[in-house]
Structure 1
């Protein structure tokens, strides 16, 4: 599990995937989100502009990110 420190109230999902080095570019992040490859708090979520807040979890390709 990756613990990611959120600076401020939230981080956009696409930025989180890039910051955690799970994708190379923002364009790649948008594609994997729209194709349903990302789970947010246990459910597939297709929102590219999703705001990930402390306490949320994101799962992608076998990796789990917990926002703290």
Structure 2
């Protein structure tokens, strides 16, 4: 599992995907989420604006699992 560090209280799922290296641009998030299964803390979710907080676990099919870590 890879850690993805944030410096704010939360990060939106679309921004997280870019930070984690799953997509190249934030604009690609909408299409990526339509085609790629994502699980957040074990529950399926595909909302770009979903807020992720410290300790959340994000599983992206084909990319692996990531943990949100506040720094």
- TM-score when normalising by structure 2: 0.81
Q: Which runs of 5+ in 1 are unaligned?
A: none
- TM-score when normalising by structure 1: 0.84
Q: Which runs of 5+ in 2 are unaligned?
A: none
Matched residue count: 68
* Helix, strand or coil at the partner of 2:6: coil
Asked if 1 retains the 8 angstrom alpha-carbon contact of 2:10 and 2:51, the reply is: yes
| Structure with greater proportional strand content | 2
Alpha-carbon distance between aligned partners in 2 of 1:24 and 1:8, rounded to the nearest angstrom: 21
Give the CA RMSD over aligned residues. Answer: 1.5
